[in-house]
Amino acid sequence: MDTSPASKTPVPWTDDDLIRHGTPAFRHTNLALFAAGLATFGLLYCVQPLMPQFSAHYGVSAAASALSLSLTTGVLAFAMLFAGGVSDSFGRKSVMVASLLSSAVLVLLTACMPNWYALLTIRTLLGLTLSGLPAVAMTYLTEEMHPESIGLGMGLYISGSAVGGMSGRLISGVVADYFGWRVGVAVVGVIGLISGLVFWRSLPPSRHFQPKPLQWRALYARFTGMFRDPGLPWLFAEGFLLLGAFVTVYNYLGYRLLAPPYNLSQTVVGLIFGIYLIGTFSSAWMGHLGGKLGRRKVLWTAFALMLLGTACTMTASLWLIILGIVAITFGFFGGHSIVSSWVGRRGGTAKAQASSMYLFSYYMGSSIAGASGGLFYAANGWNGVAWFVGVLVLAGLLIALKLYRLQPLPQILTPPAPMSKGAMP
């Protein structure tokens, strides 16, 4: 691989200096982005297993307790619409580093908040600071990775996200059982701070990024151009449905398993979040498989698996419930890996905005569906949650079957230079 300085071409598809798997640059990039995923999603989701404790401590309902996550993801969704544009002006790495370190500090402050409303305020601010990482990380990968390696690279980044989501939930849940929820949240904050420093040191600087001033008219044109693409709006919808279904399951799983007839402890419920480790395999494997066989041919299987898993959770058997959670988790991370890399490839010259819009839809799914699930839980218990999730997943499956017939990239969003053979979505 040529290690000379990158050219100034804005079309990375034809640049031989892109990062390829098997090189030191690929290993450093993935170490950094693995640490970023670990920090971001640990900080974001560490409150999820604590929701029953919030209900008991503050005397709030399940739906109100879910606001500790839904407010964060709701603000995160809107802020990420602008994160890509900010990184266009200030640089990818600098925005991501500031995002990680400030978010870790806010989570440490969360452990000190004296009342429920103060906690919700900090969690709302967290959505703003976290926004600088996910959308920009996707853009960084699509700019710096070779088309043949981006599926694997995106999968490995999402693997870090899976470990972060798992460890944030697991650590906060287990530590809270012995030392209280404040200590559990503080430990996750410290881990996030260390991971942010690892990211700062390890991530190679952008070599295919050209800073440009934030131009609102051009930004508006890029956003509107995306919706003329026949595939991108449906991919945005898939993001909404994927995370909406997934977060709803995990938001209310603890309430079910802590109650009769299971009566599990907070520690055991926290250990169940170890299922997240499956995502470290499924995201990389299905992302790579989608890159080889075609994303349209693989995506529908992720939703089919999630639908089967949702049906398993409606049984009374604890083992079948756990098996269902495994299937939902495997399908979610695999589907997210495929869709997110697909968005990056179809975004073309508007890839920063495409990534931002995808993640806006993705986290709005978490915010809206995650909070709405509490209403179904209050009305019909777990079966109400499962039916709600089943409808979301079925809609995602139908869209995936529609995307199966999606045509190759339209000329309006492709770069001016010819695409390589591996560039078809």
CATH of the domain at 333: 1.20.1250.20
* Counted domains in the chain: 1
Instruction: For residue 330, give Cα distances in angstroms to 285, 333, 402.
Output: 10, 6, 22
Asked if residue 104 is part of any domain, the answer here is yes
What count of other Cβ atoms lies within 10 Å of the Cβ of residue 398? Answer: 13
C-beta of residue 86 within 8 angstroms of C-beta of residue 211: no
Cβ atoms < 10 Å from Cβ of 320: 15
Residue 355 lies in a domain: yes
CA 62-373-322 angle, to 5 degrees, is 90
Please, what is the Cα angle at 272 between 271 and 277, to 5 degrees?
Answer: 90
pLDDT at residue 141, rounded to an integer: 79
Assigned domain for 388 exists = yes
pLDDT (tens digit per residue) in 145-159: 766 677 777 777 777
CA atoms within 13 A on the CB side of 295: 31
In a domain, 403, yes or no: yes
> Looking at the domain assignment, is residue 14 inside a domain?
no
Is the residue at 399 inside a domain? yes
Domain membership flag for residue 197: yes
Any domain includes 13: no
Low-confidence ranges of the chain (pLDDT < 50): 1-14, 410-425
Distances 16 to 13, 20, 92, 145, 344 between C-alpha atoms, Å: 8, 9, 21, 10, 19
| 133, two tokens | 């990482």
Question: What is the reported pLDDT for 92?
Answer: 81
The Cα–Cα gap between 44 and 19 comes to 29
204, 25 contact by CB (below 8 A): yes
Query: In the prediction, which pLDDT does 223 show?
Result: 67
pLDDT confidence of residue 349: 65
Rounded CA Rg of the chain: 20
Domain membership of residue 293 as a residue range: 21-211+226-410
